[in-house]
Amino acid sequence: MDKGYTGKILNVNLSTGDISEESIPDGVYERFLAGMGLGAYILHRDIPANADPLGPENILGFVAGILTGTGSLFTGRWTVVGKSPLTGGWGDANCGGMLAPAIKRCGYDGIFIKGCSDTPVYLEIKNGKAAIHAADDLWGKDAVETEVILTERCRKKKIPRVACIGPAGENRSLISGICTDKGRIAARSGLGAVMGAKKLKALVFTGTRKITPQDREEMHRLSRKCNRWASLQIPFVSGSMMGKIGALMRMLPTQMAMDGMLFKIMLGKWGTTSMNQMSVEMGDSPIKNWKGTNKDFDANRSRTVDPDIFRQCEIVKYHCYSCPIGCGGICATSGKFSETHKPEYETVLALGGLCLNEDADSIFYLNELLNRAGMDSISAGGTVAFAIECFEKGLITKDDTDGLELSWGNTDAIVALIEKMIRRDGIGDLLADGSKAAARKIGKGAQHYAIHAGGQELPMHDGRCDPGYVVHYAAEPSPGKHTVGAQMYYEMYRLWKKIKSLPKPDMVYFKGRKYVADEAKAISSAACSKYMNVLNGTGTCIFGAFLGADRLPLFDWINAATGWKKTPEEYLAIGDAVQTLRQSFNIKHGIDPRQNIPGPRVTGQPALSTGANKGRSVDLETMIRDYWQQFGWDPSNGHPRPDILPLTVDSPTDRTQV
């Protein structure tokens, strides 16, 4: 292995107990990279069209990026892929921690698991070997407990790394994810439920193999250069000033193109919580289940989520593998848990402003509770906000909620409801599969209050403030995710610095321009998606990408790690192919891409009459059509044209039992 990747995957069948190793031709990496691209290739090839996401035919893949472990920076993200039980189509979620290099140290770029076990099991993977063990004693334990036990049980000399589900995944909650490093979670797409359905409690990686890039010296030279940008940290304003900056941004008629260095400095100081009040004030953060405004969660109410509050209880900063920034943190908390990973912006606002909950202690508690249970905090918050609105409208009453008074900002009821969702207890059972599934059961028009794309609850970024977000929520192969593109992301990616044909945004522009559907926006949105596929193929964190393509030497790192001599344009073409491959997966599995378009509230139809997003609506239809066209897909329905479908039907090659 001297190309950064191992050239091998492990296929495990939990129904039969078969475990086999498969060699992957170099050409596959050159077409789709490793990480999510490799995952898309295998899943498109091997999951039959009508496979039940919770049945034995679905395949759950744990993949590491082509750059992970090669001396590059920001490349410690691993990805889990599978057919999503939440959306019915392509599912992926990524996560940091220390797991990604551990996958490759076992000798594999990915572990692909099909079949279902009858009894709880865990999978132990070593250097080129794997074994299935009974996990009856672990079933029912939370993710932190499970990880502690398995780390001790499987340790030889090197510390093993663990990915596992908590009770939410065991209970097949469709909004559950997969955890590592005591509370990091690959939360989206409901893939924890797939693992639960397979009765697979955990994977333990105990490999010790070296990961060798083609040119380590060049890798290090590039990393040192990148670190000069990544380590630049200047003194910055106080937390409470951030909200005021957001308010100022709201008032101005113009906006400046965002330079990601500013965001990096915010991340370095506070992590993603830097955005808390600022996002509320500028209209980026949806409030009160997307029907409220910043006025409903004004500076006085949001003061409890001032970024400095999170910083003050941070014991130490937390870095994912190979990350020089360390946006995470370990926080001391009071109450049932003494520590928790610093809650992310998404978590804080989904459990805060979206439900009008002002109680920061409850957010710390729920953060740890959800991480241990393995439940997605975005979907959990979105589903609670949905339930509160149903209660407000009288669609559900105290008789349905086991006596809970589900009113806006009722912290005790919100906490009790989430505890019930994790246990699937009473009303919690109804809500444990997210808002779309719950709305279907409640009926009576409840679907109007379920804010999702294709079944996945929307993140805490409002398309009425930046329309780029909602294009990606609606039109991506995996809908409802904020970690791909937005107009602001395009500004921060600075791809035009590397690819001259891409449009360069104006430094300053009138805000009204954001809502005009034009070709430059379609090209920029598509470029975000393609770039993200390259980032996910290499295992790179989006926050590294925010430094800008001229400061994060992604393409040069890939060339130095693999020995390839590809141009940035060629890498973006790979990202394009992966996008079509994922969309083809959806078409194969009967998804109509238009079914993922969220309801009218999200695009401002009708527009809000007050607050930061007053009078704003998004011409989503036109933007989606233009966006799909950029990939050569049918703009009317998002179907890739038959002549551009990537050839992915190669039959498996070279399998050996291990």
User: Which of the choices ligand SF4, other proteins, none does residue 315 contact, using the CB cut-off of 5 to 8 A by kind?
Assistant: other proteins
Using the rule CB under 6 A, is 319 a contact of ligand SF4? yes
Using the rule CB under 8 A, is 227 a contact of other proteins? yes
Residues 117-176 that bind other proteins (CB under 8 A): 157-159
Residue 182 or 530 with smaller CB distance to other proteins: 182
Query: Could you give the count of Cα atoms lying within 13 Å of 607 in the half-sphere of its Cβ?
Result: 14
Q: Which of 521, 558, 552, 524 is nearest to 538 (CA)?
A: 558
- Alpha helices (H) along 118-255: 143-154, 167-170, 191-197, 216-230, 239-251
The residues, any chain, with a CB within 8 Å of residue 420's CB and separated by 6 or more, are 402, 426, 427, 428, 429, 431
Using the rule CB under 8 A, is 500 a contact of other proteins? no
Residue 125 or 417 with smaller CB distance to other proteins: 125
Residue 181 or 306 with smaller CB distance to ligand SF4: 181
Contact region with other proteins (CB under 8 A), list: 23-31, 70-78, 128-136, 638-646: 70-78
Using the rule CB under 6 A, is 541 a contact of ligand SF4? yes
Contact region with ligand SF4 (CB under 6 A), list: 22-30, 83-91, 317-325, 372-380: 317-325
Using the rule CB under 6 A, is 618 a contact of ligand SF4? no
CB 240 within 8 A of CB 474: no
- Inter-residue long-range contacts of 310-319, CB under 8 Å, 24+ positions, other chains counted: 310/270, 310/271, 310/273, 310/342, 310/343, 310/348, 311/239, 311/269, 311/270, 311/273, 313/364, 314/342, 315/339, 318/342
Among 543, 557, 628, 631, binds ligand SF4 (CB under 6 A): 543
Tokens in use for 529?
């998606």
Using the rule CB under 6 A, is 96 a contact of ligand SF4? yes
Residue 328 or 455 with smaller CB distance to ligand SF4: 328
Alpha carbon separation from 624 to 111, 485, 592, 621 (Å, rounded): 34, 13, 14, 5
Using the rule CB under 8 A, is 178 a contact of other proteins? no
Contact region with other proteins (CB under 8 A), list: 193-201, 314-322, 386-394, 452-460: 314-322
Closest distance between ligand SF4 and the C-beta of residue 307, in Å?
15
Using the rule CB under 8 A, is 317 a contact of other proteins? yes
CB 310 within 8 A of CB 343: yes
CB 219 within 8 A of CB 140: no
Closest distance between ligand SF4 and the C-beta of residue 158, in Å?
10
Residue 224 or 655 with smaller CB distance to other proteins: 224
DSSP conformation letters of 480-498? S-SSS--HHHHHHH-GGGT
Q: Which of 595, 587, 597, 601 is nearest to 622 (CA)?
A: 597
Closest distance between other proteins and the C-beta of residue 552, in Å?
14
Among 138, 309, 320, 535, binds ligand SF4 (CB under 6 A): 320
CB 512 within 8 A of CB 619: no
Q: What is the enclosing helix (H) or strand (E) of 656? A: strand 655-657
* Summary count for the chain: helices (H), strands (E): 25, 20
Contact region with ligand SF4 (CB under 6 A), list: 115-123, 145-153, 315-323, 563-571: 315-323
Among 5, 62, 74, 493, binds ligand SF4 (CB under 6 A): 74
Using the rule CB under 6 A, is 67 a contact of ligand SF4? no
DSSP conformation letters of 318-332? E--TT-SS--EEEEE
**Contact residues for other proteins, defined by CB under 8 A:** 69, 71-73, 98, 101-102, 157-159, 208, 210, 216, 219-220, 223-224, 227, 230-231, 314-324, 326, 329
**Contact residues for ligand SF4, defined by CB under 6 A:** 74, 76, 96, 319-320, 323, 325-328, 541, 543
